[in-house]
Amino acid sequence: MTVEEIKRYFTGNPPPKEVNWKPYAKITDAERFLAHAFVLIENHKGKQDDCPAWWRLKEFYQFMKSFNKNSENNER
């Protein structure tokens, strides 16, 4: 999985504005969250796998994919 793949996913499947991600993490503007994560990853000087923003972005991506999959199953 790459940053570009995640960008393409969210371009085609934009998240809702607000996301209750974790008990301790509520995202109030998902587009700003994503834009900020992409900037932090782009400006990271080390290996991408060592970037905390990359970890959060991957985790958010996986959460949204499973959330969207569950939503589709509930509609059937």
| DSSP summary character for residue 24 | T
Query: How many residues can be counted in the chain?
Result: 76
The residue extents of the domains of the chain are 3-67
- Tens digits of residue pLDDT in 25-47: 999 999 999 999 999 999 999 99
What is the spatial distance between Cα 51 and Cα 73, in angstroms, rounded to a whole number?
A: 34
What is the spatial distance between Cα 20 and Cα 50, in angstroms, rounded to a whole number?
A: 26
pTM, to two decimals: 0.86
Both structure tokens of 51 = 């970037």
Q: What is the average pLDDT value for the chain, to the nearest integer? A: 92
> Cα separations (Å) of 36 from 13, 57, 71?
18, 10, 26
Average pLDDT over residues 10-22: 94
